[in-house]
A and B are shown apart, each in its own frame.
Chain A
Amino acid sequence: MEITLWHLLDALLAILLLGLAWSALSGSDLRRGVVLFMAFGLLLSLVWARLRAPDLALAEAAIGAGLSGALLLLALRDSEKPGNRTVQTPPLLQLATLLLMLLLAASFALAYVTAVTGNNGDRLAGLAFGNLEQSGVSNPVTAVLLNFRAYDTLLELAVLLAATLGILALGAERRPFRKPGLLLGGLVTWITTLLVMVAGYLLWAGAHAPGGAFQAGALLAAAIVMLRLGGMTSEGLPVSRLLRWLLAAGIAAFMLTGYLATFLDLAFLQYPEGRAGLLILLIESAAMLSIAFSLGLAYLGGSPSGWEKSSSKGSPS
Chain B
Amino acid sequence: MTDLLGALFILASLGFFAAGSIGLLRLPGVHARLHALTKADNVGLGLLVVGAGLIGGDLLLALKLLLVWLLVMVASAIAANLIASHAMKDGEES
Interface residues of A (CB under 8 A from B): 183-184, 186-187, 191, 194
User: Does the CB pair A183–B81 fall under 8 Å?
Assistant: yes
User: Does the CB pair B81–A191 fall under 8 Å?
Assistant: no
Complex Cα spacing A194 to B70, Å? 13
For residue B90, give the distance in angstroms from its CB to the closest CB of chain A.
Answer: 12
The 0/1 profile, CB within 8 Å of A marked 1, for residues 69-89 of chain B is 001000100100110000000
How many cross-chain pairs have Cβ atoms below 8 Å apart between A and B?
A: 11
Question: A184-B82, A187-B75, A187-B78 provided; 8 other pairs, C-beta below 8 A?
Answer: A183-B78, A183-B81, A183-B82, A184-B78, A186-B78, A187-B82, A191-B75, A194-B71
Give the total of B residues in contact with A, Cβ under 8 Å: 5
Main secondary structure of the interface of B (DSSP, over half): helix
The 0/1 profile, CB within 8 Å of A marked 1, for residues 38-74 of chain B is 0000000000000000000000000000000001000
Complex Cα spacing A191 to B72, Å? 11
Complex Cα spacing A187 to B80, Å? 12
Contacts of A184 on B, CB cut-off 8 Å? 78, 82
* 11 chain-A/chain-B pairs, Cβ below 8 angstroms: A183-B78, A183-B81, A183-B82, A184-B78, A184-B82, A186-B78, A187-B75, A187-B78, A187-B82, A191-B75, A194-B71
Residue of B nearest to A181 (CB): B85
Complex Cα spacing A194 to B82, Å? 20
For residue B49, give the distance in angstroms from its CB to the closest CB of chain A.
Answer: 17
Contacts of B81 on A, CB cut-off 8 Å? 183
For residue A284, give the distance in angstroms from its CB to the closest CB of chain B.
Answer: 23
Contacts of B78 on A, CB cut-off 8 Å? 183-184, 186-187
Contacts of A183 on B, CB cut-off 8 Å? 78, 81-82
Complex Cα spacing A184 to B79, Å? 9
Complex Cα spacing A129 to B71, Å? 36
Residue of B nearest to A187 (CB): B78
Complex Cα spacing A186 to B71, Å? 14
Complex Cα spacing A228 to B18, Å? 36
